[in-house]
Structure 1
């Protein structure tokens, strides 16, 4: 018969395990009061399974519909869906910081504006770039890089579109990626790193972005970060063995783009020995590098200021902006054009084209490219973009935050360092704020003033507070300019055979598509451009 000591030795770890992994999370933790499925309260791997399937956001949204505006989605994570929580967590000066989730977006081993956890570090870096990304700054600098690439896209439609009936059929998913990467690289690097995808070069850079294995790698990086880092750091025989377990074979996602970004930095750095680049445009310039983001950051380089940015700090910052500026803009434009091309939305397209055609010809150049200021003043176009972002926010998933103290949110005590999050996807589908939330309806933004005011409070496509998307004005300039130029010259309709399908983005952390369609076409969307 086992001795009392042996029995006690067995019972103690069992009891501790029972307390730690069952009794405390389910009954004794302050979070036990928060509504939610018991299994999620016991283990993070229930939600991780949804992550793996690419359905995390939809899973949390269904939990909100079942349990209400706050729901416990993990042992240490609570998802919110209320204006009060939005203001408290994401409002200016909230004190909430980003979590370890964002570490996977570090570039060259360095933190950047997107990945800084602390409010202070983020604010200090943001000061260096705020004027460049301001609306006035973008409208000034964008006249060159955005308008030039709008012209390039119109030429692509004519030169690469497949003739079909009276129009040209273009595959939007790839071609809009060409537009967005050409625009962001020119804005960031000028002649030191701008791509020419619209003209048929550099298109290989987009290959690893479009690889569907990219989503699997993201899952491993988030849920098994140490294992992932260990696997990809092996060499020799160990590397050969580790390759069997890689979620994505080398070169992994963004490898080509990160190499391109680093080479752009090297070219810029080398040029500084020959040319004085002045951010105010008063000195000599080289290949239009004066008002680029890289040139502005150069003014704060460590050789120019004590305690300034290192080479890799600048390279990381620019590379992060490059990565952030590709998918977001291109996917929004994809869904905007696709939505307007659907037969049921023909009246929306006609109304938009009528508004654009009323713009004086003096606001367009000889190639039909509009001034950015004119595009910014089109109310129906603005409504179309808002409605596209509401339904198809390019970053629809949870934005996790935490704070180093206990805090009460919506009447519930949230212990220190609990992960709290909100998602544009759920905010934008509140049927009390957005009637018929799954219907694409730009007209809703012209409703009663009080209703529109409430919708704007819930509209969260660019986040809010100090962490609000710094590139929103550049994104809006790209979208308004391209949409204006396209719909001034063309009418659009779905390509043949694409009538019953919706485009789907399956390479990102979240599978991204229209919820009302069963047939999803991965990474493709064919639209016919008909001269009007």
Structure 2
């Protein structure tokens, strides 16, 4: 009997050990992380990012595949680099990855808590998103501001003429830097949409101070920061990024806060006569969350206005500069775009926003530009809100997620001859950048897709069409089509390292509308 009991005991112990081994193997299979390069002690894979992270990550895809795992300091990071992987993320796991991975620089003044782009996923973000998408950045409202956008683009043409003439007066060739003037135009356009005023003019020192502060905010936001890789360093702020951002963002916030307070007082006194703008709409929801639908504090209204300037001013000028550069170095594409304008516009008149829908080749040029040069190449980082099983990989909570839109636009599984600038590929194609075609997501997809996409669509097309219709663009004799520098410069957006400089030859147009 004792021998029988010993056998039972041995069998039981072996069974338990085998069960534990099986469970361990099963757990290991379900907790398999995506592949990635070996990580160094402490620093992890920081050095694998290089100076141009979107390009370095794209190169790593060749060895490790479209889903990449990195350890950036102490931060778990997943990188998505193919249309198939993006489709799985946005279609099947969008909610799980709807939080934001917020850079330390954007947490000063609690800015991330009040802004739309960086706010954590939740009730406040959903209500704010609904307000923006249904009451302002919707076609019905955008149609009411067509005249305003056309006025701002007309002013851009005037600025280009003045800058070219000034260059010639100083003995130059008449070269101008379109990106700078495009940025100023976009800044004033946002000012008119948000606040019903031109902020950049000879009379407005306050507007100029705000412009410079916003410029510095964008530079700070795009600067690599050790505190983002090692959260324990946040209180030390080793590169003084947080300290400098606090000053610059504070300047922008103070100026906008004064605009907001002035409008509150005007509305109280009944003296505000200008047609309703975005600030007026936000003020209708002003409150502290205790009085029905009034849920946006005056402080957060200020943050939202600042965010619109930061996001809206930069992306337009970046995209149009890349498009103009690609067309200049591709004379055949430039000719096709110009010929289309000649056919559609007919009489020598100014471009109108209503002409955009009749210009399929111009739209193809913009799409091809966004495919090769997305304004935000890694999109805005997301963060997992819980553990997830994504494409048979275990992704732990609080994992930072980069979606490499730059790499996806070069995905050879989705695009033929992906490195070639060829607008023709979009003619007759239903592929669009509205977030449903995952091989082409320059504005993102899912719940966090860029809310300003429709406005950007209108401004980019109107600006580019006007530049092509109003001027014939030439390079200085010292630069050839082959030597035109197309090197990228990484920051909060993907700019040209060497800004495009070109000579605008004015075309004579009549002024009738």
Q: TM-score range by the shorter chain?
A: 0.7 to 0.9
Q: In the alignment, which of 109, 118, 123 is matched to residue 121 of structure 2?
A: 118
The answer (yes or no) to whether the contact 2:368–2:423 under 8 Å persists in 1 is yes
Correspondence for 2:425:
444
The answer (yes or no) to whether the contact 1:210–1:507 under 8 Å persists in 2 is no
Correspondence for 1:466:
447
Q: In the alignment, which of 65, 80, 84 is matched to residue 68 of structure 1?
A: 65
Matched, 1:385 2:388: no
Q: Which runs of 5+ in 2 are unaligned?
A: 1-26, 508-513
Q: In the alignment, which of 266, 269, 272 is matched to residue 264 of structure 2?
A: 269
Matched, 1:34 2:16: no
Q: 1:167 to 1:484 in 2, by over 3 A?
A: farther
Measure, in 2, the Cα distance between the counterparts of 1:498 and 1:257: 39
Cα RMSD (Å) of the superposition?
3.7
The answer (yes or no) to whether the contact 1:91–1:466 under 8 Å persists in 2 is no
Correspondence for 1:48:
46
The answer (yes or no) to whether the contact 2:377–2:405 under 8 Å persists in 1 is yes
Counterparts of 1:204-353 in structure 2, within 5 Å, are 205-207=210-212, 214=220, 217-220=223-226, 222-223=228-229, 227-228=233-234, 231=237, 246-247=240-241, 250=244, 253-254=248-249, 256-275=251-270, 285-288=272-275, 290=276, 292-302=277-287, 305-306=291-292, 307-342=294-329, 345-353=330-338
Matched, 1:420 2:401: yes
Q: 1:382 to 1:401 in 2, by over 3 A?
A: same
Deviation at 1:77, TM superposition (A): 2.0
Residue aligned with 1:128, SS: helix
Matched, 1:489 2:484: no
Deviation at 1:530, TM superposition (A): 1.7
Deviation at 1:206, TM superposition (A): 4.2
Matched, 1:394 2:375: yes
Deviation at 1:332, TM superposition (A): 0.7
Deviation at 1:385, TM superposition (A): 0.5
Q: Which runs of 5+ in 1 are unaligned?
A: 1-26, 232-241, 277-284, 514-519
Q: 1:421 to 1:166 in 2, by over 3 A?
A: closer
The answer (yes or no) to whether the contact 1:331–1:394 under 8 Å persists in 2 is yes
Deviation at 1:476, TM superposition (A): 1.2
| CA offset digits 1:58-85 (Å, max 9, x no partner) | 1211111211111212272222234443
Measure, in 1, the Cα distance between the counterparts of 2:260 and 2:432: 48
Deviation at 1:300, TM superposition (A): 0.6
Q: 1:135 to 1:103 in 2, by over 3 A?
A: farther
Residue aligned with 1:502, SS: coil
Correspondence for 2:17:
none
State the number of aligned residues.
465
Deviation at 1:33, TM superposition (A): 4.6
| CA offset digits 1:184-218 (Å, max 9, x no partner) | 11111113xx3125999745544455569636755
| CA offset digits 1:486-510 (Å, max 9, x no partner) | 2122221233434424266647247
Deviation at 1:512, TM superposition (A): 4.5
Q: 1:484 to 1:478 in 2, by over 3 A?
A: same
Q: 1:501 to 1:374 in 2, by over 3 A?
A: closer
Measure, in 2, the Cα distance between the counterparts of 1:315 and 1:449: 39
Measure, in 2, the Cα distance between the counterparts of 1:338 and 1:198: 30
Which 10-residue stretch deviates more, 444-453 or 251-260? 444-453
Measure, in 2, the Cα distance between the counterparts of 1:107 and 1:179: 28
